[in-house]
Amino acid sequence: MEKYNEHFLMDTKTVVDYVKDNVDFFDEDAQVEACEISDGNINYVFRVYDKKTGKSLVVKQADKFLRSSGRPLDLHRNKIEAEILATEGELAPGYTPEIYKYDDVMCALTMEDISAYKNLRKELMSGKVFPKLAEDITEFMVNTLLPTTDLVMDRHEKKEKVKLFVNVDLCDITEDLVLTEPYYNYKDRNIVTEGEEAFVEETLYNNEHLKAEVGELRDNFMNNAQALIHGDLHSGSIFINEEGLKVIDPEFAFYGPMGYDIGNVIGNLFFALANKVVTDPENEEFIGWVKGAIADIYDLTFAKLNKKFDECVTFPLYNTEFKLNYLNKVMADTIGYAGTEMVRRTVGDSKIAEISSVTDNETRIKLDKLVVLTGVQFINNRKLYKTGEQVVAEFERVVTEL
């Protein structure tokens, strides 16, 4: 449509026209309205609904500029998001919102409204437990990750995919904010809690061994085009209810190490755990559940990858000792990237609610140290763990030494 042959940023009025003009969704006599629901700092997200019936959908639009700071950001990320949602929807049906339309001029994605599911981070903050979380999230990850590697995929097709998913700007954010700056504050963007400057200097900035380990993880992130990963699978990208979960916001997707996604999930559960251990230590129900969920995610990921490998990988060279070496490397990456996530959300500039909501300085320092010290252990010892229980035990050891 001529009206939409050039990108412009929509508002709650123009998005209603856009949906009416482009998507066959609402009835002729529908009373369509829209509101903005974004809590992110990158894009614009509108809920568009019929006032009469409550029927609704969501439009996510990317702008040329980052919403929070106004700096330019490649619009190609919106195409990447649409492409990966389609791929994930095929590989793991029901775990992502259904896509109704992708418009690469307007950079707008029109999709299923998943408001029946709630932000996992917020749900965990409020102390809710989800017995099916480990089972569901490992199902999503294993089904989307292993089949997109070239152990399974045709190698020509895979190279085309690698090309399509080159995601320069958003990988750049991860390479800096996650895998550089917490250890080498060269852009002076870290935010360190008052009173723990010396701790951060000693534990992170002046820790040469740690820098070497993070260097390895950074290099692996940049050069190991292993699988099509979500790239930002933190607990604010997972929406959940008693029935199941949906994964959204994959605009950081690219071909990278699958341990980065799995590690993000595990690292973010440690924020929920550490927050409660420090602020609500009597809450044994939650603390026990989240420890179990973390251990289960580690163990189930390994078991399901192993099974999927047997089902999907047919190349003779791989059906050897190679399998165990490969899976061990994935699990080592997983714990390493759980560690880098934990460190970066504590000293980096993208804090999460589990950390920033703790305003009492003494409690906050205790929480920060718990998370950072566990993260450092994870980075250094990532190749040593064999079970989820050992991973949780590492955290428990840091708690007792605090």
Residues in contact with Mg ion by the rule CB under 5 A: 40, 249
Nearest to 184 by CA among 332, 352, 343, 334: 343
Choose between 46 and 298: whose C-beta lies nearer to ligand ADP.
46
| Residues 269 and 250 sit within 8 Å (Cβ to Cβ) | no
Does 115 interact with ligand ADP (rule: CB under 6 A)?
yes
Of 239 and 385, CB closest to Mg ion: 239
Gyration radius of the chain over CA positions? 21
Which residue, 45 or 225, has its beta carbon nearer to ligand ADP? 45
Cα 254 from Cα 170, distance rounded (Å): 9
Task: Give me the helix-helix angle, 258-279 and 322-347, nearest 10°.
Answer: 50
* Rounded (10°) CA dihedral 271, 247, 45, 98: -170
Q: Which residue is nearest to Mg ion (CB)?
A: 40
| Alpha helix positions (H), 24-154 | 76-91, 120-125, 133-145
Burial 176-202 (b: 16+ CB within 10 A, else e): bbbbbbbbebeeeebebbeebeebbee
Pick from ligand ADP, Mg ion, none: which does 344 bind, CB < 5 to 8 A by kind?
Answer: none
Query: With binding defined as CB under 6 A, does residue 113 bind ligand ADP?
Result: yes
Give yes or no for residue 38 binding ligand ADP (CB under 6 A): yes
CB of 115 to Mg ion, least distance (A): 15
Smallest distance from the beta carbon of 237 to ligand ADP, in angstroms? 6
Nearer Cβ to ligand ADP, position 232 or 333?
Answer: 232
Q: How far is the CB of 253 from ligand ADP (least distance, A)?
A: 12
> Is 42 a residue that touches ligand ADP (CB under 6 A)?
yes
H or E element that contains 217: helix 208-223
Is 97 a residue that touches ligand ADP (CB under 6 A)? yes
| 335 closest CA partner among 290, 382, 375 | 382
Contact with ligand ADP (CB under 6 A) among 2, 29, 39, 401: 39
Which of 4, 14, 40, 128: binder of ligand ADP (CB under 6 A)? 40
Select from 10, 111, 210, 347 the one that contacts ligand ADP (CB under 6 A). 111
Please, what is the minimum distance in Å from the beta carbon of residue 65 to ligand ADP? 12
Residue 335 contacts residue 378 (beta carbons within 8 Å): yes
Per-residue contact flags (x/-) with ligand ADP for residues 179 to 218, judged by CB under 6 A: ----------------------------------------
Contact 189, 349 (CB under 8 A): yes
Rounded least distance, CB 283 to Mg ion, Å = 28
- Residue 37, contacted partner among ligand ADP, Mg ion, none, CB below 5-8 A by kind: ligand ADP
CA atoms lying within 13 Å on the CB side of residue 58: 18
Handedness of CA 278, 281, 283, 289 (dihedral sign): positive
Query: What is the per-residue DSSP string for 352-373?
Result: -HHHHT--SHHHHHHHHHHHHH
Selection from ligand ADP, Mg ion, none that 38 binds (CB < 5 to 8 A by kind) is: ligand ADP
Is 249 or 333 the residue whose CB approaches Mg ion more closely? 249
**Which tokens sit at 34?**
């829209």
Q: Which of the residues 218 through 277 are near ligand ADP (CB under 6 A)?
A: 248-249, 251
Query: Both tokens of residue 26?
Result: 């609402």
Q: Which does 19 bind (CB under 5 to 8 A by kind): Mg ion, ligand ADP, none?
A: none
Please choose which of ligand ADP, Mg ion, none residue 7 contacts, taking the beta carbon within 5 to 8 angstroms, the exact cut-off set by kind: none
**Minimum distance of ligand ADP from residue 62's CB (angstroms):** 8
CA distance 58 to 331: 35
Spatial distance between the Cα atoms of 302 and 305, rounded to a whole number of angstroms: 5
- Cα 220 from chain centre: 18
Judged by CB under 6 A, which stretch of 7-15, 33-41, 155-163, 307-315 contacts ligand ADP?
Answer: 33-41
What is the CA 74 to chain-centroid distance, rounded? 20
**Segment contacting ligand ADP by CB under 6 A, of 83-91, 114-122, 131-139, 263-271:** 114-122
Q: Binding-site residue total for ligand ADP (CB under 6 A)?
A: 19
Which residues sit at the interface with ligand ADP, rule CB under 6 A? Answer: 37-40, 42-43, 45, 58, 60, 97, 111-115, 119, 248-249, 251
